[in-house]
Amino acid sequence: MSERTLVLVKPDGVERGLVGEVISRIERKGLKLVALDLRTVDRQVAEEHYAEHAEKPFFGSLVEFITTGKVVAAIVEGPRAISAFRQLAGGTDPVEKAAPGSLRGDYGLEVQYNLVHGSDSPESAEREIKLWFPEG
Ligand code: DAT
Ligand code: MG
């Protein structure tokens, strides 16, 4: 059973020239890109994307950060794509949680600047894909 997930390369990843690395790992894993777009994101989309964190102390700076530069948005498809990409990304904290060999584990140092986003459940994936690719 194939599923879809929403992947973002956040502004830190784009600025550091890690887009190719992220895409390469997605493809090497056997996952398929079904949409790919470099764009800037407005405040409204950023706030909606991170709505579950609206009450967290880091929400403001998170939204600020994601709207400061270009991001790459992608729809990635494959068997267990949601979990497969979360494994490629590594845990949220790039030092304490992300294992070496994962994207965050290999390239990240700070929680806010952890390079990539991947949907965390089928419900989130559906919501996020609609938000980032409303044209379908
Ligand atoms: P993930 O991106 O692994 O799904 P999350 O959904 O818990 O993690 O948080 C979303 C993003 O918010 C995360 O990628 C980076 C930021 N973030 C999370 N916890 C944070 C914290 N304690 N301080 C600063 N930023 C944080
Ligand atoms: Mg999350």
pLDDT tens string 7-23:
999 999 999 999 999 99
CA distances from 23 to 1, 43, 85, 114, 135 (A): 22, 25, 11, 16, 22
ipTM, two decimals, is 0.98
Angle at 64 between CA 35 and CA 49, to 5 degrees: 40
Q: What 3-state class would DSSP assign to 63?
A: helix
**Which residue from 7, 10, 62 has its CB within 8 A of the most atoms of ligand 1, so it is best to mutate?**
62
The whole model's pTM is what?
0.98
Span 14-48, pLDDT tens digits: 999 999 999 999 999 999 999 999 999 999 999 99
Kindly tell me if the per-residue pLDDT of 50 is higher than 90: yes
Check residue 57 and give its pLDDT. Answer: 98
Sheet containing 116-118, strands listed edge to edge, beginning at the edge strand earlier in sequence: 32-39, 71-79, 2-9, 116-118
Please name the helix (run of DSSP H) or strand (run of DSSP E) that holds residue 74, with its range, or none: strand 71-79
Could you list the active site residues? 117
Ligand 1 atom 15: residue of nearest CA: 112
Range of the domain at 78: 2-132
The total of structural domains in the chain comes to: 1
Note the helical H segments in the chain.
11-15, 19-29, 43-49, 59-66, 81-89, 103-107, 122-132
Predicted confidence (pLDDT) per residue in 104-134, tens digit: 999 999 999 999 999 999 999 999 999 999 9
| Residue 39: per-residue pLDDT | 98
CATH number at residue 124: 3.30.70.141
Ligand 1, atom 1, lies closest to the CA of: 92
- Is the pLDDT assigned to residue 1 strictly greater than 90? no
